[in-house]
Amino acid sequence: MKTFKFLICCVFLFVLAQNLNAQDAEVISNPIRVSFKAKDIIPPNIFLVYRNAGLLTPEGKVYVDIRILDEGGLGTVTINDEKINGGKQDSLILTYQFNPGQEIDVEARDIANNVKEKGFTIKGAVPAVVLGADQEQTVSAPKHKYYALLMGVEKYDDSEINPLTEPIKDATLLKQVLVSKYTFEEQDITFLKNPTGDEIQIAFEDLSNKVTANDFVLIFYAGHGYFDEKRDAGYWFPRDARKSNTARWFRNSTLVEDIGAIPSKHTLLISDACFSGGIFLSRAPFNNASLDVSNNLKRQSRKAMTSGSLTTVPDKSVFMKYLLQILSENNNKYFSSEELFEQLKPIVRNNSDTEPRYGEIKNTHDEGGIFYFIKKD
């Protein structure tokens, strides 16, 4: 009996050894591929941004956007007692009306279970500031002028560069909106149709000579653009650009220098062209700026808004279609460039292959201020 049990054990051990060898052979012939992924330990970012510069509505309310960002994907967001499913999105914008002085608690949790909590006290600004017993002025009290440089290039001297059909039309429509709805005067708008590189440079020099430290400047360009990956440089194509060489191309680094030379309080660049993302100091779509309009106006700003980065944009621009629509339909007295971009970005992304960009222009003395479009009374 003992001999039989001993034989059974030997057979069992032999079979087990064969199975183990087979498994080892399988592991060697089909190795497991392990991919190492850094653990997500960064919690979401939470921002509170005031709409219409935080001005009170006729009902005494304040409109705000609560914005949550997390590249790894959002799990849940709790605002006071309200719980919202983040749907694994990388960003979430929630719009509310609150009373001035109301306390808001926000908790954001991402899908990796990182948590961020932040509290806010809602502030509100009345539409006017009383400066004296018999004097009242709006929050835009400092005297200033609005200047604009609009450029549309659709015809080129070089037959190897394809002509366009929309840039001058788009620039014309933008000029009409600025003059009819906002505080731009026609005599302060320079409109260049199919300019050469020299004409663009002269226009920038003219701005740097006449603009004062209280003024606002809007720069707009529509036309061909190009990004050279080898040089890490972006360009605009003036009318006299040649496909064969870059001698007459308008370099983005030159543009940055020209914008830095304009002594304005606020400068906003809007470019509907292939563009170098390297022009930006940052690509954050908003900076959570204070609601105090007068403080935002005091601090210098140098911002850029572009239809795409490192991409070819189409002749019939979705970016321009909706930018013009949003500016035309806006009913806020003070409409910031950040509010404009936040309305524009999702529409462009949903209706085209381009990715709009917005941010501070590096090396141009941006101090965190904001460019405002101010509606005419």
State whether 82 and 177 are in the same domain.
no
201 touches 257 (CB < 8 A)? no
- Say if 29 falls within a structural domain: no
State whether 337 and 227 are in the same domain.
yes
Q: How much is the pLDDT for 300?
A: 87
Q: How much is the pLDDT for 293?
A: 64
How far from 103 is each of 69, 119, 248, 290, CA to CA, in Å?
21, 7, 57, 17
Dihedral, CA atoms, 268, 273, 278, 284, nearest 10 degrees?
50
For 202-259, the three-class secondary structure string (H helix, E strand, C coil) is: HHHHHHHHHCCCCCEEEEEEECCEEEECCCCEEEECCCCCECCECCCCEEHHHHHHHH
Strand 216-222 versus strand 146-152 pairing type = parallel
Phi/psi of residue 363, nearest 5 degrees: 60, 35
- Say if 355 falls within a structural domain: yes
State whether 148 and 92 are in the same domain.
no
Separation of alpha carbons 364 and 366, rounded Å: 6
State whether 56 and 159 are in the same domain.
no
Q: How much is the pLDDT for 91?
A: 77
Q: How much is the pLDDT for 45?
A: 78
Last residue of one domain, picked from the residues 81, 104, 127: 127
Q: How much is the pLDDT for 100?
A: 85
- Say if 221 falls within a structural domain: yes
Closest Cα partner for 343 from 328, 360, 361?
328
Q: How much is the pLDDT for 26?
A: 35
State whether 331 and 352 are in the same domain.
yes
Q: How much is the pLDDT for 128?
A: 45
Q: How much is the pLDDT for 277?
A: 55
State whether 241 and 104 are in the same domain.
no
Q: CATH number for the domain including 212?
A: 3.40.50.1460
- Say if 23 falls within a structural domain: no
Last residue of one domain, picked from the residues 127, 152, 187: 127
- Say if 109 falls within a structural domain: yes
Separation of alpha carbons 317 and 221, rounded Å: 13
Structure tokens given for 284? 């954050």
- Say if 37 falls within a structural domain: no
276 touches 234 (CB < 8 A)? yes
State whether 106 and 193 are in the same domain.
no
Question: How many alpha carbons lie under 13 Å from residue 190 in its C-beta half-sphere?
Answer: 22
State whether 250 and 103 are in the same domain.
no
**In what helix (H) or strand (E) does residue 362 lie, and over which residues does it extend?**
none
Separation of alpha carbons 239 and 226, rounded Å: 14
Q: How much is the pLDDT for 274?
A: 67
State whether 103 and 233 are in the same domain.
no
Residues in the chain, pLDDT under 70: 1-38, 50, 52-54, 71, 124-143, 274-297, 309-315
Number of domains in the chain: 2
Give the DSSP per-residue string, 157-178: SSTTSPP-SSHHHHHHHHHHHH
* DSSP helix/strand/coil, 96: strand
Last residue of one domain, picked from the residues 68, 102, 127: 127
State whether 58 and 199 are in the same domain.
no
**Alpha helix locations (H) across 250-351?**
252-260, 293-298, 318-329, 337-351
Task: Please state, as a whole number, how many other Cβ atoms lie within 10 Å of the Cβ of residue 242.
Answer: 15
Strand 225-228 versus strand 189-193 pairing type = unpaired
Statement: the pTM of the whole predicted model exceeds 0.75? no
Dihedral, CA atoms, 192, 216, 310, 177, nearest 10 degrees?
-60
- Say if 132 falls within a structural domain: no
- Say if 11 falls within a structural domain: no
Determine the structural domain holding residue 282 and report its residue range: 137-374
